[in-house]
């Protein structure tokens, strides 16, 4: 199969491109920076540029492809709402149109469980409908709209499936893992409430293999959304301790009431909108909700429909993360 992977310079996109290429498919990637994936053809450009614009790259990138895996997105806790809209919604619309114009037959849209998270606990649910009106924050709202846009394009000859990997992590992750470790190292990582909320996560290899499985199964599962996790929910305190232990830093020992963290998150978001910092805000309401509510999912339909099971357990993932930190300079 000839596959285009967008956003392959990111942590997950790079793993997905490498996984699909290793399976024997011909992989081309499209993003603003080199992917660093051996054996693939990199095409540079932006999904916010119309596909028919000369030298934009997307029209070429999608030409002759049988399938597209669309990961490119603006992922952040804060930022200009117009930027989220332009990349996550407008960019997805552009990639969809380019894929349809090029005669692509399979389209895998990489979404997020946050598209259906309204601030309260999710315990043992399957993939709930994407709900832009209830999703928390500009990232989740625009990803929800983009998922609905992608699934609405599902049609005979153009099979669309949405995959929602949940909290992807592993060695080399500069977003979730490195930020947790950095904040723990500087004593800025609290537990919200009792740290007992059950949360499921996804090791990077499992996320990549699940997306590959969705690509293979797209013609039979089209029109559906699937949440991807390791299927091993743990208390948030245990997860943070596992990550910190792998990096040889102290796990968080101080606590903040969840209600106080949510209030602080709302205030910080308001400040960031008027005087944005150069990094992610230390807390947002969405982040406070994610760290203080349960979110784990029923994986039975996902595993049955995609004929997929995780390859790397949570504990093995922690061991690999520890080995990564031991080898780090």
DSSP state letters, 262-324: HHHHHHHHHHHHHS--SS--S--HHHHHHHHS-EEE--HHHHHHHT---SS-HHHHHHHHHHH
The answer to whether residue 109 is catalytic is no
- Among residues 78, 114, 133, which one has the least CA distance to residue 267? 78
Q: Is 34 exposed, middle or buried (CB count within 10 Å of its CB: 0-12, 13-18, 19+)?
A: exposed
Contact 15, 8 (CB under 8 A): no
pLDDT value at position 139?
A: 87
Does the pLDDT of residue 32 top 90, yes or no? no
Which comes out higher in pLDDT, residue 46 or 163? 163
Q: In this structure, are residues 9 and 25 in contact, taking their beta carbons and an 8 Å threshold?
A: no
Compute the distance between CA of residue 132 and CA of residue 143 in angstroms, rounded to an integer: 8
Q: State pLDDT tens for residues 266-318.
A: 555 565 566 655 556 655 655 666 666 788 899 999 999 999 999 999 999 99
Section 23-43 average pLDDT: 93
Cβ(295)–Cβ(217) below 8 Å: no
Tell me which DSSP letter residue 155 carries.
B
Percentage of the chain beyond pLDDT 70 is 84
Each residue of 195-230: pLDDT tens digit?
Answer: 788 999 999 999 999 999 999 999 999 999 999 999
Residue 55: predicted pLDDT = 47
pTM of the model: 0.90
User: Which tokens belong to 103?
Assistant: 């005669």
Summarised one tens digit per residue, pLDDT across range 240-273 is 889 999 989 888 876 666 555 556 555 555 655 6
Give percent above pLDDT 90 in the chain. Answer: 55
User: Which one, of 96, 93, 71, lies nearest residue 10 by Cα?
Assistant: 71
How far CA 126 is from CA of 61, 137, 213, 229, 296, in Å, comes to 34, 22, 18, 11, 9
**Would you give the end-to-end CA distance of the chain in angstroms?**
39
Per-residue pLDDT tens for 74-122? 887 667 788 889 999 999 999 999 999 999 999 999 999 988 876 677 7
**Which of 55, 60, 139, 226 does the annotation list as catalytic?**
139
Q: Where are the domains of the chain?
A: 2-166+202-229+296-311
CA atoms within 13 A on the CB side of 314: 18
Q: What is the mean pLDDT of the chain?
A: 86
Per CATH, domain 2-166+202-229+296-311 is 3.30.420.10 = no
Task: Label residue 30 exposed, middle or buried (CB < 10 Å: 0-12, 13-18, 19+).
Answer: buried
pLDDT score for 292: 64
Please give the residue that has the higher pLDDT: either 289 or 58.
58
Band the pLDDT of 194: cuts 50, 70, 90. Answer: confident
Give the torsion through C-alpha atoms of 227, 16, 7, 159, to 10 deg: -60
Q: What are phi and psi of 106, to 5 degrees?
A: -130, 135
Among 207, 166, 172, which residue's Cα sits nearest to residue 320?
172
| Amino acid 256: pLDDT | 65
3-state secondary structure of 214: helix
Give the pLDDT score at 197: 86
The residue count for the chain: 329
**pLDDT score of 273:** 63
């Amino acid at each position: 199969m000839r596959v285009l992977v967008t956003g392959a310079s990111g942590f997950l996109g790079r793993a997905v491109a490498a996984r699909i290429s290793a399976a024997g498919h011909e992989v081309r990637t499209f993003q603003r920076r080199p992917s660093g994936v051996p054996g693939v053809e990199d095409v540079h450009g932006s999904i916010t540029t119309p596909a028919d614009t000369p030298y934009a790259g997307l029209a070429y990138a999608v030409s002759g492809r049988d399938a597209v895996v669309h990961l490119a997105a603006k992922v952040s806790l804060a930022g200009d709402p117009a930027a989220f809209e332009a990349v996550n919604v407008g960019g997805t619309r552009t990639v969809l149109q380019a894929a349809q114009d090029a005669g692509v037959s399979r389209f895998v849209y990489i979404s997020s469980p946050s598209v259906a998270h309204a601030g309260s606990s999710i315990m043992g649910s399957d993939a709930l409908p994407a709900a832009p009106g209830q999703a928390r924050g500009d990232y989740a709202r625009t990803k929800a709209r983009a998922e609905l846009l992608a699934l609405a394009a599902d049609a005979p000859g153009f099979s669309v499936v949405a995959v929602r990997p949940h909290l992807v992590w592993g060695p080399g992750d500069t977003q979730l893992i490195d930020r947790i470790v950095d904040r723990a190292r500087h004593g800025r990582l609290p537990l919200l409430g009792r740290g007992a909320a059950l949360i499921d996560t996804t090791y990077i290899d499992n996320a990549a293999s699940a997306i590959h499985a969705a690509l293979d199964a797209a013609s039979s599962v089209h029109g559906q959304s699937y949440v991807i996790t390791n299927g091993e929910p743990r208390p948030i305190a245990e997860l943070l301790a596992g990550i910190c232990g792998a990096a040889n830093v102290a796990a968080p020992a101080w606590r903040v009431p969840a209600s106080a963290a949510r209030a602080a998150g709302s205030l910080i978001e308001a400040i960031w909108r008027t005087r944005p910092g150069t990094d992610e805000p230390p807390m947002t309401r969405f982040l406070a909700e994610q760290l203080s509510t349960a979110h784990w999912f029923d994986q039975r339909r996902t595993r049955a429909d995609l004929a997929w099971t995780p390859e790397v357990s949570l504990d093995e993932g922690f061991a690999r993360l520890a080995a990564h930190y031991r080898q780090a300079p």
